[in-house]
Amino acid sequence: MLRFLISRLISAVPVLIVVSLVCFLLMWIVPGDVASEIAGADATPQQIAQIRMNLGLDRPLLQRAVDWYWNLLHGDLGRSYLLNRSVTDAVLERLPVTLSLAAIALTLAIVLGVLLGVLAAVNHNRPLDQGAMTLALLGLSMPDFWFGLMLIVVFAVQLGWLPTGGFVPPSESLVGWAKSMTLPALTLAFTQMGVIARMTRSGMLDALGQDYVRTARAKGLSGGQIVFVHALRNALIPIVTVAGVMTGVLIGGAVVVETVYSLPGSGRLIVGAIQRRDYPIIQGGLLMTAGIFVFVNIVVDVLYGLLDPRVRHGR
């Protein structure tokens, strides 16, 4: 197991190198003068020169790359111009909102998706199956931010049950926090629920055709026991892998959903930075979210290795 973990960690190294290189080159592909873009239209030449020096834009690319990696190894991602503070601090401060939103959405997506998938598999080729799969496909096909806007129209504007946006920290009011997170989490979860539902359905159909299910049926177990204890357990294994990929999709999706609902997460920080051309924040935010995604995938692989010994010992 330890060997598997180590080999998995080593394989993440080239990925992280590519990720950091892309983030570094991001400022290099900006056409024109980055410093004057950051400084804005009414900046003096001195201010622009100062920014250029701070960013190291006056030095050769190779030296900038060396500096970038050196600072990176010390956890220093540079300073944000507009916030006038360290990028690492700014992103870290906002990250809990994004991660909690993604975690709630992931839980919702798995619970709803598995239920929908089981419902479809048990009613294979009947109207309930087709209905469930249509719903799943619909979720996959909708733009999440648009679905979010429509939820706002119905539940916040028309019915007035939930706020149209904004954030209440859980330390202030738990109910307020739950209310502020409900629509964003539903928005994110609904689009991902479809993926889980489709996988659960095909996994369940596969499992229900296996010998052990026939045996369970032969010894007189109830339908519920067969479905939930025997078949579902085996159908769930691939979902662990999908959950890893999905974490990435959800973190990426949270960027947009945070913008729709004005949640103060790292996604909104990045989007705000894009609109104000605050490149250090864009670079740092991108690097940190990708880093988290890589880490989550390692955790998922290790979990998968624990669940299925075949993975651990190589195919």
Residue 31 near other proteins by CB under 8 A: yes
Residue 152 near other proteins by CB under 8 A: yes
Residue 95 near other proteins by CB under 8 A: no
Pairing state between β 79-80 and 85-86: antiparallel
Supply the minimum distance, in Å, between the C-beta of residue 18 and other proteins.
Answer: 2
Residue 82 near other proteins by CB under 8 A: no
Which residue from 62, 160, 275, 315 is in contact with other proteins, where contact means CB under 8 A?
275
Residue 80 near other proteins by CB under 8 A: no
Residue 26 near other proteins by CB under 8 A: yes
Residue 10 near other proteins by CB under 8 A: no
Q: For other proteins, which is the closer residue by CB, 23 or 227?
A: 23
Q: Contacts with other proteins: how many residues (CB under 8 A)?
A: 49
Q: In this chain, which stretch among 79-87, 135-143, 234-242, 301-309 interacts with other proteins, using CB under 8 A? A: 135-143
Residue 103 near other proteins by CB under 8 A: no
Residue 135 near other proteins by CB under 8 A: no
By the 8 A CB rule, do 302 and 4 touch?
yes
Residue 97 near other proteins by CB under 8 A: no
Supply the minimum distance, in Å, between the C-beta of residue 268 and other proteins.
Answer: 10
Binding site for other proteins (CB under 8 A): 14-19, 21-22, 26-27, 29-31, 137-138, 140-143, 145-147, 149-150, 152-153, 157, 247-253, 255-256, 259-260, 270-271, 274-275, 279, 282, 286, 289-290, 293-294
